[in-house]
Chains A and B, each alone.
Chain A
């Protein structure tokens, strides 16, 4: 579904990604793990078009998307719930969700489908948001905003969903809830690329994993195998061998 080859990206003169290779097959959850500053967020930005890659190719459902502006990539079917939530603070929860469906509500965009139904399903998935539908997004708690960012990305009805640290800043009980939701989305067949600080939990829900070190893929393999890899365990799962 999503195929990334030799992906390079830079901030100004500083090269951050040095040729990333990764694949997210249809219906699978793939996780990208790595220490702070390894380039996980940058990889996601380069895929979604928030940052223009300096090299490499990206295929989304067979279409080449490298270098396209973010809005075109969204229209092709990629949703990105970015690091740091980035909800629209002066607009209501409901408006944020409708904006998530922008490509389906406007000309030349994605097929419309059942927007009301999807809105309802998103609110079922995150009942806290239902209660706060008409509240301004900026007045939500950090955790609620995080849920809104996820729900908003789902409203695109994407072929591939990128989630950058969906549990960031959440209380432990909510972290668990977020992972439950990811599992439910997986059961429904959603294709996802997941970046998580809780690498163990991410590897538990994922089918496949990539370990990123200094802008390069250091190790990759089926999630099961990475979970049992002593080096990965020591470096990223906080478990001594």
Chain B
């Protein structure tokens, strides 16, 4: 029983990481109907840049974890803006239907290769800002960092939601998502809104990177699988539903930790993919979604 609770907790923490990355997929899909397939690499870059500031590589640490996070967020935002500007904007301008798929994948590969050259191919430990002794909650052993993941993820989503609802700029983002032409008539620079959504998307991924890095290892290849699974979560939860990615993320996270423990770690990726296939077969718009990916 205790072990099940523990697996649940770890699964939720992992699921919230998926949810944050999936949230990034949603943010660009909403404004532009495009996705950044380099989300996993944005996560990896966030973690590597964070490690460079706060890890004992490159002669550091230079900053403590909490001061490093805002810099990583800023870096993520800039990196996302670059992806939009270089890879997506030309495709949107020429109304190329699939150009952005290739260009965001290509940019992701370039980022990964660059990271391998800068930081090497080995996985490196990321110093934890919180005690690494598990704490006991209802008999389960939970890492403080796992709690921090959940709190950080929820906080980020709540802040973005507040921004969208309360500020005029957030309202402009929502308006651009529902009707780009009409938003333009309001005087909203919708091209800039799309750049912003890419910045937000990569920023979320970079944030997920520094949240998860202290629990796992950090390395140039850490993003690929996470990005792919978060994409599955975005499809499972629905590309248009914020609640959907949280539920989808937690479902996938818990399915993985429990399968890993009760069956075999070798099979831990299977339930998520089965779930994905089921959702695609039964409700292609996702558990909570309204738009199907076909409409891209």
Contacts and interface: CB of A to CB of B under 8 A. Distances in A.
Interface of A: 48-50, 69-71, 74-75, 79-80, 82, 86-91, 95, 98-100, 102-103, 105-106, 109-110, 152-153, 156
Contact of A91 (B171, B188, B189, B191): B171
Contact of A71 (B169, B171, B178, B188): B188
B179 A102 contact: no
B190 A71 contact: yes
Given A82-B182, A88-B182, A89-B178, A71 B168 contact: no
A43 to B, nearest CB: 15
B250 to A, nearest CB: 25
Given A50-B181, A86-B179, A86-B181, A100 B186 contact: yes
A102 B168 contact: yes
B133 to A, nearest CB: 46
Contact of B186 (A49, A89, A90, A102): A102
A74 B179 contact: no
Contact of B171 (A82, A95, A109, A153): A95
Given A50-B184, A71-B184, A71-B188, A106 B175 contact: no
Given A86-B181, A88-B178, A88-B179, A74 B186 contact: yes
Interface string B60-73: 00000000000000
A129 B182 CA distance: 20
Given A88-B183, A106-B169, A156-B187, 18 more contacts: A50-B181, A70-B184, A70-B185, A71-B189, A74-B184, A74-B185, A80-B185, A86-B179, A88-B182, A91-B171, A91-B174, A95-B171, A98-B168, A100-B186, A102-B186, A103-B186, A103-B187, A152-B186
Nearest to A85: B182
30 contacts: A50-B181, A50-B184, A69-B184, A69-B191, A71-B184, A71-B187, A71-B188, A71-B189, A71-B190, A74-B185, A74-B186, A80-B185, A82-B181, A86-B181, A86-B182, A86-B185, A88-B175, A88-B178, A88-B183, A89-B178, A90-B174, A90-B178, A99-B168, A99-B186, A102-B187, A103-B186, A106-B169, A106-B187, A109-B187, A110-B187
Contacts of B171: 91, 95, 98-99
Interface residues of B, number: 19
Nearest to A110: B187
Q: Chain B: interface secondary structure?
A: helix
Contacts of B182: 82, 86-88
Nearest to A49: B184
A187 B40 CA distance: 59
B32 to A, nearest CB: 16
A95 B261 CA distance: 49
Interface in B177-216: 178-179, 181-191
Contacts of A105: 168
B168 A88 contact: no
A236 B168 CA distance: 43
Contacts of A90: 174, 178
B178 A79 contact: no
B174 A88 contact: yes
